[in-house]
Chain A
Amino acid sequence: MPANGPLRTTVVVANPNGLHMRPATAFAQTARTYRAAVTVYNGDRRADGKSSLDLILLIAEPGAELVLEVDGEDAGTAIEPLAALLAAVEAQ
């Protein structure tokens, strides 16, 4: 499959605790299973989606609009599950 340009989508953080350690760790773990490069932007802050540390440094509060960018062969399969993780509300 020829690589397309990067895919982007905007996701609003719904989790009442924001993108803190637990969702960031879950996201990074999932992101690492894809070959595509994963980047998450919070305003002018940029994070490598495969690094849980980078992700928490975004300080993404509930309501924050994040831009998810996925670039690579499996970008098409990656983008939805990753976007879902960013938008997810943690089940208790």
Chain B
Amino acid sequence: MDIKRGIAVSPGIAIGPALVLDTEGVVISQRIVPPEQVEGEIYRLAGALIRAADDARQHQRSLTEKLGKDIGDIFHGHAGMYEDPHLRRKIEGLIRDQRYTAEYAVSRAIREYVKRFDDLPADHQFVRLRADLLDLEKQVLATLMGVHGSPLPFAGEPVIVLAHDLSPSETAQLDPKTVHAFATESGGPTSHTAIMAGALEIPAVVGIGRFLTDVSGGDTVIVDGREGLLIIDPDEATLARYQRLRQDQFTASGSRIESLLDVQPITRDGVRVSLFGNIEFPNEAVHCLERGADGVGLYRTEFLYVNKSSDPTEEEHYEAYKAVLTTLGPDKPVVIRTLDIGADKFSSVSGLLTGEKNPFLGLRSIRLCLRNLPLFKTQLRAILRASIYGDIRIMFPMISTVMELRQCQHLLAEVREDLEEEGIPFKRDILVGTMIEVPSAAILADVLAREVDFFSIGTNDLVQYTLAADRNNENVAGLYNPADPAVLRLIRLVCDAARRENVAVNVCGEMSGETMFIPLLVGLGLRQLSVTPRKIPEIKRAIRNLTVADAERVARESGRMETAREVTTYLREQLRRILPEAAD
């Protein structure tokens, strides 16, 4: 048994087999090219930078959804750097003047930048940027050398990742379901490893110093994220002790969250706001509970379909929904959003479309489901069958007309009849709602309100469709802003219509997880928010510091403004006033 001490950066205890990351750097074999190949190297460089920027944006998208904007922003920054004309000019200069290969020039250029950070002390806050630069180098080199794909292959077994250091791109490719902890030789409390571990809510210890030579892949290791220990090949007594400790512990990060667990999200003037969690995998349901959520406000079911060689069976759906309901118990609602992706992700229907020009305006989500009834009915059957385990609710995404909604209701009725005929038990009266994310649905909210039990405003897509701007397109991303007055008017419209028809409204996009928008949303009349579980304590705190009177004032004032910039500045000011600790 070997006990190594490092810096504890994310609490909790993990016990499992080690996965040791290969720490060999990339070997650049050729440095110089003959003069006639110089232009070719310039061309290769250009392609590699474009590709690296695309990959970074993809990471940004997927991680923002899973772990929030802070994590996604890291990749937004990386993408900006790959596209930075300075970087490109510098590397091109080396290629032209020295006749370096693209690989060698990239490495030389980046290492020169990295030197600026060499004199900083190891725990300096800017040291993380050094890791970012090295990550940029690695990604561009990987593209140039045609090496792609995850350096972290997982066969689905839970592992503890051990490495010298973890770059943002490496951690972006991790499957949170199988990585239970990190331990690294280098890194400090503000390193990327620490940040990712915090976001994933898994234990991590960094800055241990050299230890990789003392451990082999498959060895049993323990990571103690509270004391900052990595224990390699623990003896029986130690193993037993940690197994007991692990059972007793939440992985919540610190007493601040634990103390909020039993506290309600009630405003200072006594109004209760319901806080739900957004999940993608059944095992995230427990995170909602640990944070004191009132239930699951959005269960994104797409992950049952992606990266699979065949579509999930009704049983697979049923088991997943049953697992979530069982975890949450009979009284906490679980809102299932039916399938919401494009045909390209599907094994059974990807032949349906070849090269849609506008996938976001095309055959996806509910439209795809309505064209593929067996697929859709499978999911609906599973949801109804699982309903006996708790308070399951259904909502349909991307509804753009009343006709679509009625077709869905009709199908649901058919599925109910089928199950009755087959003698399979289910709850008859589960609540059915619709997402409001297409502007037409928001505008006709009064009509839709008469046909459903609840609304859920999907602000991410609502903002995109309303401003006709793709948030992932650098050229227009500036237009995408949830604070835009047009978006605010639509939200108000939806809330007013819902109130008149006595229909509950929830907000489940990123907007509800940003503290700055809480006074505004509450002021517009929202009493239900669904956020990524990690954010629940923060949003709870915001609600407890608010009065509805104040919130309504904020909503009124914002409603008078003409630009997103004015609204944002105003909301930030208000946040500082109402919640000074939250503004920092």
A residues with CB within 8 A of B: 16-18, 20-22, 24-25, 28-29, 48, 50-54, 56-57, 59, 61, 89, 91-92
Alpha-carbon distance A29/B582, docked complex (angstroms): 26
Q: Does B242 contact A (CB under 8 A)?
A: no
Q: What per-residue 1/0 map shows which CB atoms of B105-124 lie under 8 Å from chain A? A: 00000000100110010000
Assess the A20–B584 pair: CB atoms within 8 A. Answer: no
Assess the B116–A92 pair: CB atoms within 8 A. Answer: no
Q: What per-residue 1/0 map shows which CB atoms of B60-93 lie under 8 Å from chain A? A: 0000000000000110110011001111000000
Query: Contacts A21-B77, A53-B84: A92 and B129 contacting too (C-beta < 8 A)?
Result: no
Taking CB atoms, residues of chain B closer than 8 Å to A24 are: 77
* 6 A-B pairs in the complex with CB atoms less than 8 angstroms apart: A22-B77, A52-B77, A52-B80, A53-B87, A61-B125, A91-B575
Query: Contacts A48-B86, A51-B85, A54-B86: A18 and B126 contacting too (C-beta < 8 A)?
Result: yes
Assess the A20–B125 pair: CB atoms within 8 A. Answer: yes
Q: How many Å from the CB of A81 to the closest CB on chain B?
A: 9
Q: Does B583 contact A (CB under 8 A)?
A: yes
Q: Which residue of B lies closest to A54 (CB)?
A: B86
Query: Contacts A20-B125, A21-B132: A57 and B113 contacting too (C-beta < 8 A)?
Result: yes
Q: Does B516 contact A (CB under 8 A)?
A: yes
Taking CB atoms, residues of chain A closer than 8 Å to B132 are: 21
Q: How many Å from the CB of B389 to the closest CB on chain A?
A: 37
Q: How many Å from the CB of A58 to the closest CB on chain B?
A: 9
Taking CB atoms, residues of chain A closer than 8 Å to B126 are: 18, 20, 56, 59, 61
Q: Which listed residue (A20, A52, A59, A92) contacts B84, Cβ 8 A?
A: A52
Q: Does B572 contact A (CB under 8 A)?
A: yes
Q: What per-residue 1/0 map shows which CB atoms of B126-163 lie under 8 Å from chain A? A: 10110010000000000000000000000000000000
Q: Which listed residue (B77, B116, B128, B478) contacts A57, Cβ 8 A?
A: B116
Q: How many Å from the CB of A45 to the closest CB on chain B?
A: 9
Q: Which residue of A lies closest to B89 (CB)?
A: A51
Taking CB atoms, residues of chain B closer than 8 Å to A54 are: 84, 86
Which bracket fits the contact residues of B? 20 to 34
Alpha-carbon distance A50/B85, docked complex (angstroms): 9
Taking CB atoms, residues of chain A closer than 8 Å to B116 are: 57, 59
Alpha-carbon distance A52/B474, docked complex (angstroms): 14
Alpha-carbon distance A28/B76, docked complex (angstroms): 13
Assess the B117–A59 pair: CB atoms within 8 A. Answer: yes
Q: Which listed residue (A18, A48, A53) contacts B125, Cβ 8 A?
A: A18
Q: How many Å from the CB of A90 to the closest CB on chain B?
A: 8
Q: How many Å from the CB of A25 to the closest CB on chain B?
A: 5
Taking CB atoms, residues of chain B closer than 8 Å to A21 are: 73-74, 77, 129, 132
Taking CB atoms, residues of chain A closer than 8 Å to B515 are: 91-92
Q: Which residue of A lies closest to B119 (CB)?
A: A59
Alpha-carbon distance A92/B77, docked complex (angstroms): 17
Q: Which residue of B lies closest to A48 (CB)?
A: B86
Assess the A16–B81 pair: CB atoms within 8 A. Answer: no
Assess the B120–A59 pair: CB atoms within 8 A. Answer: yes
Q: Which residue of B lies closest to A88 (CB)?
A: B572
Assess the A29–B80 pair: CB atoms within 8 A. Answer: yes
Assess the B87–A92 pair: CB atoms within 8 A. Answer: no
Q: How many Å from the CB of B481 to the closest CB on chain A?
A: 13
Taking CB atoms, residues of chain B closer than 8 Å to A52 are: 77, 80-81, 84
Assess the A91–B73 pair: CB atoms within 8 A. Answer: no
Q: How many Å from the CB of A53 to the closest CB on chain B?
A: 5
Q: Which listed residue (A25, A51, A91) contacts B86, Cβ 8 A?
A: A51
Q: How many Å from the CB of A92 to the closest CB on chain B?
A: 6
Assess the B80–A25 pair: CB atoms within 8 A. Answer: yes
Alpha-carbon distance A17/B124, docked complex (angstroms): 10
Query: Contacts A51-B85, A56-B129: A92 and B583 contacting too (C-beta < 8 A)?
Result: yes
Q: Which residue of B lies closest to A59 (CB)?
A: B126
Alpha-carbon distance A17/B129, docked complex (angstroms): 12
Query: Contacts A59-B120, A89-B584: A25 and B76 contacting too (C-beta < 8 A)?
Result: yes
Q: Which residue of B lies closest to A47 (CB)?
A: B86
Q: How many Å from the CB of A77 to the closest CB on chain B?
A: 13
Alpha-carbon distance A56/B582, docked complex (angstroms): 26
Alpha-carbon distance A20/B191, docked complex (angstroms): 13
Q: Which listed residue (A22, A61, A89, A91) contacts B516, Cβ 8 A?
A: A91
Q: How many Å from the CB of A70 to the closest CB on chain B?
A: 18
Select the residue from A17, A21, A25, A48 with max chain B CB neighbours within 10 A. Answer: A21
Taking CB atoms, residues of chain B closer than 8 Å to A22 are: 73, 76-77
Alpha-carbon distance A38/B210, docked complex (angstroms): 44
Taking CB atoms, residues of chain A closer than 8 Å to B80 are: 25, 28-29, 52
Alpha-carbon distance A29/B477, docked complex (angstroms): 11
Select the residue from A48, A59, A89 with max chain B CB neighbours within 10 A. Answer: A59
Alpha-carbon distance A17/B73, docked complex (angstroms): 15
Q: How many Å from the CB of B68 to the closest CB on chain A?
A: 11
Alpha-carbon distance A29/B516, docked complex (angstroms): 22
Q: Which listed residue (A16, A28, A48, A59) contacts B584, Cβ 8 A?
A: A16
Taking CB atoms, residues of chain A closer than 8 Å to B86 are: 48, 51, 53-54
Q: What per-residue 1/0 map shows which CB atoms of B569-584 lie under 8 Å from chain A? A: 0001001000000111
Q: How many Å from the CB of A59 to the closest CB on chain B?
A: 5
Q: Which residue of A lies closest to B583 (CB)?
A: A91
